[in-house]
A and B are shown apart, each in its own frame.
Chain A
Amino acid sequence: MKVHNNKAWWLVLPVFLLVAFSAVVPMMTVVNYSVQDIFDSSSRFFVGVDWFKQVLRDSRLHDSLLRQFIYSGCVLLIEIPLGIAIALTMPTKGRWASACLIVMAIPLLIPWNVVGTIWQIFGRADIGLLGWTLNALGISYNYASNTTDAWVTVLVMDVWHWTSLVALLCYSGLRAIPDVYYQAARIDRASSWAVFRYIQLPKLKSVLLIAVMLRFMDSFMIYTEPFVLTGGGPGNATTFLSQTLTKMAVGQFDLGPAAAFSLVYFLIILLVSWLFYTAMTHSDKNS
């Protein structure tokens, strides 16, 4: 007979407490709000899934959800290939390699709201270098009033801020490929495209997985930069999910619907991340 010793559970307790306070407890308070209609501390009503129903039919949220997907899609489509391309062209050793690494790391060190402020000033038509130059060249550019300009500016800002992350991850992945693979490819007369397609890209898969996930999650949760840069405008053109949510929760104080939407928002991120992860890790197990 095996004697069960339950003392081991005590060892799990610290982790359990940590996770409880960092994730479970805050999350449960949101769940609590999402199923009640609260007027004040004494008058509250249980409403079941009513807030969820309302939220899922809200066209304002539909619009910003769509905007959010387009935005994240654009971010991934631009930053991942660009990051790979930069990593491939970066020098592999010597002084220039270190210089490149430092230059690439700088945007990553700048706080979000500072990035927003930099681009807000940079893009201004009257005093900003970018805005002024474009207008001087005869290209009409105003991110505060033109929807396209606003979108392009927000995207360029994100690319400027975060492509480095993808590039650095890929750079480290490329350095980890043993030399012998390149030697074998030379012996096999592989073209440089074939080297990229059959050696570099497959070997980069694990770092690309991290890059895609991080960039997706971050861009899907983006708040500060567009808030500082455009304030969500012009109109609602650059109002993304988090901003809509903040307006709802803090601006209108609709805590119930906001909490319900937070949970939906969270589940969407979880679902999409899971889809990315499964697609990328199971793609080669089929045959």
Chain B
Amino acid sequence: MAEIRLQNLAHSYSRTPSSAAEYAIREMNHTWEQGGAYALLGPSGCGKSTLLNIISGLLSPSHGQVLFDSRVVNDLTPQMRNIAQVFQFPVVYDTMTVFDNLAFPLRNQGMAEPQVLSKVHEIAEVLDLHPLLTKKASNLSADEKQKVSMGRGLVRDDVSAILFDEPLTVIDPHLKWKLRRKLKQIHEQFNITMIYVTHDQLEASTFADKIAVMYGGQIVQFGTPRELFERPSHTFVGYFIGSPGMNLIEVERCADGVCFANTRLSLGAALNQRLDSLDYQQLKIGIRPEFVHLWDLPGSDLPGAESLVEVAADSDAFSAEVVHVEDLGTYKILSLNLDGQPLKVRLQEDQVVPRHRASVSFSAQWLMVYADDFLVTVDAQEARHESA
């Protein structure tokens, strides 16, 4: 069991990387605390698996260091790091029985046979593998093979950490849910650091206490599922987490706020001040479809009623054209055209669905401003003021 720290870590598969694009992992510092259940979430090709293989020692990083409990382990093999890893596709030793497969890592570290027996039975119990123990591994289904594969990862409880590389890809949906619960239980029982790589946000948020979102070889945000949802610190997090993702609109700086086309949004004083002090190429605003406020105005839903909307709503409301309504059963997705920009709004079942025009407003609490794709925060600014 160990705390895993990545220090100035970077990795490139090319021997002489010349540009940032050639790095699979861009320089990062990150700490996985002992005993945490973490998810590493990101799209295909963002460097998740590379990072995992660097932690386990299957891959040696080209820059920086990996530390286990402040001991540099760069030159240690996976055996010496005492890491368990479960891969995306099942790996079983075909000629062995399921029992021997599960016992294999234990026997390799020289554990006495009675102990092996009890450990294997313990893990077989957890994974419902008991009826299969005497079967040859080559005769199993893909599901069962993956369970055996996971079992081999979980059977050693003295490991520094267990790494999962999208372990449920080949598993049936209903079994997926069960196995995720199992993993969670095992985590609670043994208090082992677990890092779970996935591209599925649901999988990440049901398994992990904290999620690291990876994008373009970087960890762009590390936080609880709620933090990722409420305050995405990178536009990618906003877009990738949530269904549908965050509304992102490219804007320009104007007096007291931002604007696009003919629409002006005023921002709070602190945020304005912060934007003035920043140097950036591009500015975006982001708001979750769940947090867009839709005004329920009788009579405003007629063609040519814009003026009515303007007058009726408070000064922060905008009139948008309804493009499309998608009914997803428990909720509806309303697609709007707000001054040339697409805007999605998530409606609850009982909300009135506007047919032609809708009046929306953005509450300051949920309106995020992104400078060069990173969240502009005012708290940091204030903190700096206080410390100065």
Contacts and interface: CB of A to CB of B under 8 A. Distances in A.
A184 B91 contact: yes
Contact of A188 (B58, B77, B97, B104): B104
A251 interface: no
Nearest to B100: A198
22 contacts: A183-B53, A183-B58, A183-B85, A183-B87, A184-B87, A184-B152, A187-B56, A187-B58, A187-B78, A187-B105, A187-B153, A188-B105, A188-B108, A189-B105, A194-B104, A198-B94, A198-B96, A202-B94, A284-B95, A284-B138, A287-B134, A287-B135
A198 B93 contact: yes
B105 A180 contact: no
Contacts of A263: none
Interface of A: 178, 180-181, 183-184, 186-191, 194, 198-199, 201-203, 284-285, 287
Interface string B76-116: 01110001110111010111110000001100110000000
**3 nearest interchain CB pairs?**
A184-B91, A189-B108, A188-B105
B136 interface: yes
B149 to A, nearest CB: 8
Contacts of A178: 89
Interface of B: 53, 56, 58, 77-79, 83-85, 87-89, 91, 93-97, 104-105, 108-109, 134-136, 138-139, 149, 152-153
B99 to A, nearest CB: 11
B83 A190 contact: no
Contact of B136 (A183, A201, A203, A284): A284
A187 B97 CA distance: 19
Nearest to A194: B108
B85 A189 contact: no
A282 B108 CA distance: 29
A199 B93 CA distance: 6
Given A187-B56, A188-B152, A284-B136, A198 B95 contact: yes
Nearest to B81: A187
Nearest to A180: B87
B79 A189 contact: yes
Contacts of A187: 56, 58, 78, 83-85, 105, 153
B109 A189 contact: yes
Given A184-B91, A284-B138, A190 B108 contact: yes
A287 B95 contact: no
A180 B135 CA distance: 23
Nearest to B91: A184
Nearest to A283: B95
A189 B93 CA distance: 14
Contacts of B78: 186-187
Given A198-B96, A287-B135, A181 B104 contact: no
A202 B135 CA distance: 16
B104 A287 contact: no
Q: Which of B87, B93, B105, B136 has the most CB of A within 10 A?
A: B93
A186 B134 CA distance: 25
A249 B91 CA distance: 56
Contacts of B93: 198-199, 202
Nearest to B97: A287
A178 B136 CA distance: 20
Given A180-B91, A284-B138, A191 B56 contact: no
Nearest to A179: B58
A7 to B, nearest CB: 42
Contacts of B79: 186, 189
Given A180-B87, A183-B87, A191 B108 contact: yes
Q: Which of A186, A188, A194, A198 has the most CB of B within 10 A?
A: A188
Q: Which of A189, A190, A199, A202 has the most CB of B within 10 A?
A: A189
A198 B91 CA distance: 12
B300 to A, nearest CB: 59
A273 to B, nearest CB: 24
Contacts of A198: 93-96, 104
A243 to B, nearest CB: 41
B167 to A, nearest CB: 12
Given A194-B108, A284-B138, A287-B135, A186 B58 contact: yes
Contacts of A287: 97, 134-136
Contact of B104 (A183, A190, A201): A190
A178 B95 CA distance: 17
Contacts of B91: 180-181, 184
A181 to B, nearest CB: 6
B95 A202 contact: yes
A183 B83 CA distance: 12
Given A188-B108, A198-B96, 5 more contacts: A183-B87, A184-B152, A186-B78, A187-B84, A194-B108
